[in-house]
Amino acid sequence: MTDLVTFGETMLRLSPPQGHRLETTDDLDLRIGGAESNVAAAVSRLGFDSAWLSKLPDSPLGRRVTVELQSHGVDTPVAWSDDDATRMGTYYIEHGGAPRGTNVIYDRADAAITTVSADELPTERIRESEMFYTSGITPALSEAAAKATATLLETANDAGTTTVFDLNYRSKLWTPEEAAVGYRALFDAVDVLVAAERDTREVLGRDGTPEDLVSGLADDYDFETVILTRGDEGALALHDGETYDQPVYEADTVDAVGTGDAFVGGFLAARLDGENVATGLEYAAATAALKRTIDGDIAVVTPEEVDAVVGEDGAGISR
């Protein structure tokens, strides 16, 4: 049995060295990045079995992704496309610093995953797993990907697998109105919702205090757990009628991309270990803080490092 199965797109990630511009750089660092594989890698690195489902072109570029994920212990039973017309999604990232922001350029149209169907994926892995995670990026990729996302969430739900969904709104993929419709179509099959406060207000159109936001979402869609991520303000969660406030741990930022996924990975690893929501949030915040110090999308961390950030007063994950 797998502890966590995830489903989504992973792209090649190309970035110039810190301080260099895409327009003029001679060098591009090559890594991989995608919300669902970032979460699977974090959970695997924190000691649990994870598998990532997707569709990739059957090419050296596609294999670059599976080889790197396997190096973090993630199982990769993906569908391979031998259609020459399908492409490997790629993103370019130019890191900024005040007053210039970080810029992401996507080149992901017609990626193999845009043609995915649930039938070509090993859905029994989802039925047999403890948790299933996907995010709002996946249904934004194509109609086929949206359909597969819904089918996989329902498969998990029917099997009693805990379903976890992060809104992960990406304005370069769809409009707030399109996203709101896409999200609401999936919410019935979601147990644990992770939502950035900004997306909750600007995409789902909700207002009020952070407490109002989590309780409104939980009441309207019957989520078991709602986690509102609030940037520097930390996170607020609602579970079983109790709210939990989690501040951020201070961190020097080398690369902020992947912080949200590391947060989810830390939370899910602690929950898989039987920890309560309060402890889960501590591990989430600690994994996110560590990620900020690491270049690349993936939280290349160890359980001991996360334990050390949580501190000797933390409840500690027993292994």
List the catalytic residues.
Answer: 261
Q: Which one of 122-130, 146-154, 212-220, 252-260 is the stretch in contact with ligand ELE (CB under 6 A)?
A: 252-260
Q: Nearer Cβ to ligand ELE, position 51 or 257?
A: 257
Greatest extent of the chain over all pairs of C-alpha atoms, in Å? 55
Residues in a beta bridge with 236: 228, 245
The HSE-up count of residue 284 (CA atoms within 13 Å, CB side) is 29
Q: Give the contacts of 60 (CB within 8 A, at least 6 positions apart).
A: none
Residues in a beta bridge with 6: 52, 133
Q: Nearer Cβ to ligand ELE, position 104 or 159?
A: 104
Binding flag, residue 266, ligand ELE (CB under 6 A): no
What does the DSSP assignment read for 238-287? EETTEEEEEPPPP---S--TTHHHHHHHHHHHHHHTT--HHHHHHHHHHH
Binding flag, residue 265, ligand ELE (CB under 6 A): no
The footprint of ligand ELE on this chain (CB under 6 A) covers a number of residues equal to: 14
Residue from 68, 191, 255, 297 in contact with ligand ELE (CB under 6 A): 297
What minimum distance in Å lies between the beta carbon of 75 and ligand ELE?
20
Restricted to residues 21-40, the positions that interact with ligand ELE (CB under 6 A) are 33-35, 38
Give the residue nearest to ligand ELE (CB).
260
| Residue 55 tokens, joined | 């569709």
Residue pair 210/236 in contact by the 8 Å Cβ criterion: yes
Binding flag, residue 260, ligand ELE (CB under 6 A): yes
What minimum distance in Å lies between the beta carbon of 166 and ligand ELE?
8
25: alpha, beta or left, given left = phi > 0 and alpha = psi -120 to 50?
Answer: beta
Residue from 210, 258, 265, 266 in contact with ligand ELE (CB under 6 A): 258
Residue from 126, 180, 248, 257 in contact with ligand ELE (CB under 6 A): 257
Per CB under 6 A, residues contacting ligand ELE are 9, 33-35, 38, 137, 168, 170, 257-261, 297
